[in-house]
Amino acid sequence: MSQFNILNRYLFNDAHARGELVQLSTSYQNIIKSHNYPIAVQKLLGELLAATCLLTATLKFEGDITVQLQGDGPIGYMSVNGDNNQQMRGIAKLTDATEANRATGLKALIGKGTMIITIRPKQGEAYQGIVALTEDNLADCLAHYFETSEQIATKIWLFSDTEQQLVAGALVQLLPDGDGSSANKEKHQEDFLHLCQLTNTIKAEEIFNLDAEALLYRLYHQEKVQLFEPQTVNYVCGCSQEKCLAAISQIEPSEIKAILAEQGKISMTCDYCITTYDFDELSLQSFISKVRH
Ligand SMILES: [Zn+2]
Mean pLDDT per 10-residue run, the chain (293 residues)?
A: 90 94 97 93 97 94 95 96 96 93 91 96 93 93 87 93 97 82 84 96 96 96 95 94 92 91 93 92 83 55
Cα of 276 to ligand 1 centre, how many Å? 8
Cα of 72 to ligand 1 centre, how many Å? 26
Cα of 90 to ligand 1 centre, how many Å? 10
Cα of 151 to ligand 1 centre, how many Å? 35
Is 236 in contact with 87 (CB distance < 8 Å)? yes
What is the reported pLDDT for 35? 92
What is the reported pLDDT for 222? 92
Cα of 274 to ligand 1 centre, how many Å? 6
What is the reported pLDDT for 286? 85
What is the reported pLDDT for 55? 95
Cα of 63 to ligand 1 centre, how many Å? 19
Cα of 79 to ligand 1 centre, how many Å? 14
Cα of 82 to ligand 1 centre, how many Å? 14
Cα of 25 to ligand 1 centre, how many Å? 19
What is the reported pLDDT for 292? 54
Cα of 273 to ligand 1 centre, how many Å? 4
